[in-house]
Amino acid sequence: MNLTILKTLTDLEDWRNQIQPDHMNFVPTMGCLHQGHEALIKEAKAFSKPKYSNILVSIFVNPLQFGENEDFKQYPRDLENDCEKASKAGATVIWAPSFEDIFPNGKDSYFTINVPKNLNNKLCGALRNQHFDGVATIVIRMLSILRPTHLFLGEKDWQQLVILKQLINELNIQTKVHSIPTIRDTDGLAYSSRNIYLSKEDRKKALMLPNILKKAAQDYQENNSINLQEVKNSLEKNNLNVEYIETVNPKTLTSIDSQKSQICLLAAAVKCGKTRLIDHTFLLKQHPIVAIDGPAGAGKSTVTKKFAEKLGLIYLDTGAMYRAVTWMIQEKKINHNNKNEIELALNDFNLDLQLSDSGKQTVILNDQDITNEIRSPQVTSEVSNIAAKTLVREKLTLQQKEIGKRGGLVAEGRDIGTAVFPNAQLKVFLTATPRERARRRAIDMKEKGFSVSNISKLETEIKERDLKDSTREIAPLCKAKDSKLLITDGMTIEEVVDSLIDMFREEIPQEVWPIKFH
């Protein structure tokens, strides 16, 4: 086992001086490691570059997060076993400090964190008074000692995750937080160190918690509503003593009406015998939709394509749709000015965008694969004229909305967040200053063998085009009120895609739409 085990702060400092780690992935735990922790460690390992192989797992049963009558004393401790499991999962360093190692000056000597009421007085925090203050105090202390690059937390403890993310953000701590989905045993019970308290009988009962939540989420998908009282009754009928069952906004944790929101968290805590269990599921109306709008030349289509690929989202290539109409009009030899014939043809225009197994997008029109045909020079030369027709735009907006019903897509354009998908879970207005867009355009032109005389002239042209695009009658360019602004000056394509992924992750949990970087 090639594992460094550190205990005291001096051990830690010595190790740090010796190794000089410039990159550390940190997984905090209270020990008694199970598959959930192992998944966190594996993720931390997968996320590290070969050169940076410091995967540090802390094992510390934090007294500050236990209430007076809680199980601090009997909480399972088995360092040897934990070290073995952590090492197998990819940990390189274990830090197992005592309370005095973390707070050398004793009980009354350290700053504590008070989690704000709006996050604390909900769900678990409402019943476990000091719990999140204790978690936050210890995690922030550990972060200040370790200064890790990445921190890995489980979505199983959703409220903890929300609180820590917000705190790290507010304190401007330069550690990036990653979350992993709840890991479940084959029977569906979420892994938790406390599961070892369950007797055989209790474990059977405990299974009803995930089962009932899962069923509620399925019913919600069908009926778009949930009856919390019924869910509660059904838990209690199965001898689970309900502490709370609530639907809340996953970001703010405030109670919400599930019918009115795109995504909400259905969370519960129950007592099964003497063991307290928590679990949750997300209620979703549809798979996530991302709307990316912005001016011409901001690099939208390049980054949107890459973003879609990384996330396994359909790239609703609105450009491809206009190309498909153009192709159809050409195939049917329809005169561009013949409104009636175009209208007739559009009635028979059923387009589908599908992801092939290899991840390549295919364009299917009335069951025919026209992916390659729509890229022909004939189509390219006419597509902008066709796309300017109100008739065509109206029809395609309707179809885009129709395709959007199943969700799981990203679309890019000028009015996606305002006209096509006003309910998108994430809206981004992607732009760059006219100067930067002029610079990029000049590089592009040079690469294509054209001479570029004057960047300022290009800049003026770009400003004029922006004005035209934002004041035109059909589909004007416009930033939705609730969209996030991303100015890409000085960023590489990869950096823009990563920022989009971070924005997506702020809205959509891994559990709902996982991203694998490896």
Residues lying near ligand PAF in the complex (CB under 6 A): 28-30, 62, 65, 135, 138-139, 157, 160
Under 8 Å between Cβ of 170 and 116: no
- Residue with Cβ nearer ligand PAF (193 or 262): 193
Query: CB-wise, 128 or 505, nearer to ligand PAF?
Result: 128
Question: Which one, 30 or 497, has the nearer CB to ligand PAF?
Answer: 30
Q: What are the C-alpha distances in Å from 280 to residues 1, 38, 193, 216, 237?
A: 36, 20, 17, 11, 19
Query: Where do the H-state alpha helices sit in 147-255?
Result: 158-170, 200-206, 208-223, 228-237
Q: Do residues 202 and 272 make contact, with C-beta atoms less than 8 angstroms apart?
A: yes
Give the residue with the Cβ less far from ligand PAF, 65 or 92. 65
Burial 271-286 (b: 16+ CB within 10 A, else e): ebbebbbbbbbbbbbb
Half-sphere CA count of 180, side-chain side, radius 13 A: 24
Paired tokens of 440: 């990029």
Quick one: 35 or 239, whose CB is closer to ligand PAF?
35
- Catalytic pick among 23, 37, 178, 287: 37
Q: How far is the CB of 53 from ligand PAF (least distance, A)?
A: 22
Question: At its nearest, how many Å lie between ligand PAF and the CB of residue 31?
Answer: 9
SS3 353: strand
312, 338, 302, 34: which is closest to 190 by C-alpha? Answer: 34
- Provide the minimum distance between the beta carbon of 191 and ligand PAF in the complex, in angstroms, as a whole number: 12
- What's the min distance (Å) between Cβ of 385 and ligand PAF? 59
- The Cα 203–Cα 320 span in angstroms is 53
Q: Name the residue nearer to ligand PAF (CB basis): 160 or 179.
A: 160
Q: How far is the CB of 328 from ligand PAF (least distance, A)?
A: 56
Judged by CB, which is closer to ligand PAF: 30, or 353? 30
Q: How many C-beta atoms lie closer than 10 Å to residue 91's C-beta? A: 30
37 among known catalytic residues:
yes
Single-letter amino acid code for the residue at 218 = Q
Written as six digits, the tokens of 309 are 């690929």
Q: Say which amino acid occupies 509.
A: P
- d(CA 497, CA 493) in angstroms, rounded, equals 6
CA proximity to 304, closest of 427, 203, 183, 204: 427
Smallest distance, ligand PAF to C-beta of residue 39, A: 13
Nearest distance in Å: CB 117, ligand PAF: 20
* DSSP result, 135-178: HHHHHHHHHHHH--SEEEEETTSHHHHHHHHHHHHHTT---EEE
Residues designated as active site: 37
